[in-house]
A and B are shown apart, each in its own frame.
Chain A
Amino acid sequence: MHGIFRLSMVWLVLVLGLWVPAQAAEPIKIGAFVSATGPAAFLGDPELKTLEMYVARINAAGGVLGRPLQLIHYDDGGNASEARNYASRLIRADRVDFIIGGSTTGTTMAAVPMIEQARIPFISMAGAIVITEPVKPWVFKTPQSDRMAAQRILADMQSRGITRVGLLSGTDGFGSSGRAQTLEVAGDFGIEIVADLTYGPQDTDMTAQLTRIRNTAGVEALLNFGFGQGPAIVTRNYAHLGMTLPFYQSHGVASDRFLELAGAAAEGIRLPASPLLVPDDLAEDDPQRPVVQAYKEAFEAQWNMRVSTFGGYAYDALMLAVKAIETAGTTEPGAVRDALEGIRGHVGVTGIYSFSPTDHMGLAVESFRILEVRDGRWVLID
């Protein structure tokens, strides 16, 4: 009985906790919702670490407009409904000035209707093209779209004289969106998709699909659009089958983790990626070189883990937000939004951003670098 009493007290305290009003404060409030745990944690974890680290650094250097930044962050666990609720909380309870967030396309899009109606400037860290096309006034994003990844890959194929491609993709959000974009733009590069096969995100063997592609008449290259463990399995199956077709992967596997998982089987694979993977290969006069190297060094020193492309998206989002607020000279949402839309030639980790009223992603196709795996490490090709 006593235990029950104590338990109900715990409940009471927990329930009351929600209603404690937030104290009025002077700091500029940056709200963030990321998938720091759950299936998309490999995206959200480095993103959150990056945001925490750079907010602390900016504050140590005097803040923005003479005011400190306050980071209010929630973990949506990769769940779209929760992401929407946290966006609601950031807007209506925490009353933030700017929102960064949405590690995945699903979590971003679930929050977008609310953010659009509340009129708060928002930068997403997710990939799919639907986020910024059609352009929504308050929604921006830092990663290149999956269409640009497809275009970059197809352009590289075109330059090698490849015209007939076997396409393999996962049935998850990333893979199915990538597949749709590839099918849509392939014609622009004079490339024909001669085989189009898919696999489930939990599948453990893709030999059947690869065999089908290998046996397709006239196929000249293989492209796999996938995320997580799937592409690593495809790569190993590809090696076991002794296939020699030129093999392209998407930016979804552009991490050192993929090299560990795929091992020697990854040799010769090409993919589009952020320059963050090859900081030392960048030309001396490459404007991104100092930014990329500084971010990589700072992140790895602080967290004692390898830097990832996804953390780079968060770095760019935060820096763009700060730049917009500084340019606007105020945190008034409309002014910040206009300042953000007016940013041109901002050098980030992922690429060089130039926003406009018709482009809220701001990157050129060339911001993707084509890398190849040689001797178990990434090498810059183009």
Chain B
Amino acid sequence: MRHMHSRWGSQISFLSLALVLVALPFVMQNDFHFDIATQIAIIAATVVGLNLLVGFAGQVSLGHAAFFAIGAYSSAILTSRYGFTPLPAMLAGAVGVAVLALILGKPILRLKGHYLSMATLGLGIIIAIIINNEGWLTGGPDGIPVPPLSVFGMELSIFEQYEIAGYTLSGTLLWYILAAGLLLVAVWIAQNLIDSPIGRALRAVHGSEVAARVVGVDTTRYKALVFVISAVYASVMGSFFAHYSGFITPQIASFQHSIELITMVVLGGMASTYGVILGAALLLLLPQLLTDFQDYEMMMFGLILMLTMIFMPKGLLPTFQQILRRALRRSPKTDP
């Protein structure tokens, strides 16, 4: 795996992702495909952030949906009830989440073991209850509408057409471009973080916390830092998701949603930034692909997850890469 982290390798991977994102619009046949692709990009960016925590710092957050939901609800509430424009609202949500994550993470991450999982589990449930019960503010269990995203007074709605430099572009396409751009930025930041001294320190923490401390790594500080970063990722993407879907319900804060996010990481391949994007894509596509098996949807879903875990315990992308490498190594021998 070491070579994966070389500068050269990560630049090639980044370019491939960019190419795939650019190529997709030419393959997609209707607006529904764009719709799903846009959501996949937004959720994938969230999961790339979560993967920093799970895959690199070795800490599990069982309440990431709460951070996602705080971002989403901050955008919804501040724009619709307090006259904020979307960007300041998004920023306010992200700052709030950062402070919350810091307050929660700082004391808990001094401890070794899975205390962060328990703390985030508790936080997630508390946030879900607050959103459900404070109906005067959050709209309660029935949800709350969110105004479309607007920047400097220009609204971006998926049903509008826009004139840009002589070209007419649909709002659907623009949203896809925005989401794809967000994903690229999210990956770029994550990759730089992983390749920086912080990333090395984190991998040391993941490998052996004691050894890391011995060589002088301030483990608590780094773990808290990456926890805050991954929470802010979730918050910002939650805000975009809210503006995109136009209506949110407390379900996005639910424990189940947290588990879905973790599943994407594990399914795609822990510690593999591109793997978790694949994980997010598959988990979001499956319900749409399995509609023909409506009665057996949950069974098929479980079966696919089980088979993946049994045959590909490292996750999808790392396993495929391994197969590919082995195949490449074997082929020259059969050649002569």
Contacts and interface: CB of A to CB of B under 8 A. Distances in A.
Contact of B288 (A89, A128, A173): A89
Contacts of B31: 88, 92
Identify whether the interface residues of B are mostly helix, strand, loop, or mixed.
Answer: helix
A85 B34 CA distance: 11
B307 A7 contact: yes
Interface in B296-311: 297-298, 307-308, 311
Interface stretch (B104-112, B136-144, B206-214): B136-144
Given A37-B298, A171-B133, A106 B141 contact: yes
Interface stretch (A12-20, A58-66, A231-239, A313-321): A12-20
A18 B33 CA distance: 9
A123 interface: no
Contacts of B285: 15, 18
A15 B285 CA distance: 8
A106 B251 CA distance: 9
Residue from the set A80, A112, A176 with the largest chain B CB neighbour count within 10 Å: A80
A338 interface: no
Identify whether the interface residues of A are mostly helix, strand, loop, or mixed.
Answer: helix
A106 B31 CA distance: 24
B142 A18 contact: no
A113 B243 CA distance: 11
B245 A81 contact: yes
Interface in B24-45: 27, 29-33, 35-36, 39
Given A37-B298, A93-B30, A109 B143 contact: yes
Interface of B: 27, 29-33, 35-36, 39, 132-133, 135, 140-143, 145, 157-159, 245-249, 251-252, 282, 285-289, 291-292, 294, 297-298, 307-308, 311-312, 319-320, 323
27 contacts: A14-B289, A15-B285, A15-B289, A18-B33, A19-B29, A36-B294, A75-B291, A75-B297, A80-B248, A80-B251, A81-B245, A81-B249, A85-B36, A85-B39, A88-B36, A105-B142, A106-B141, A110-B247, A110-B249, A114-B246, A117-B158, A118-B159, A128-B142, A171-B133, A173-B142, A177-B140, A177-B142
Interface of A: 1, 3-4, 7-8, 11, 14-15, 17-19, 21, 36-37, 74-75, 79-82, 84-85, 88-89, 91-93, 105-106, 109-110, 112-114, 117-118, 128, 130, 171-173, 176-177, 180
Given A19-B27, A81-B251, A177-B140, 8 more contacts: A15-B285, A37-B298, A79-B251, A80-B143, A109-B145, A109-B247, A110-B245, A171-B141
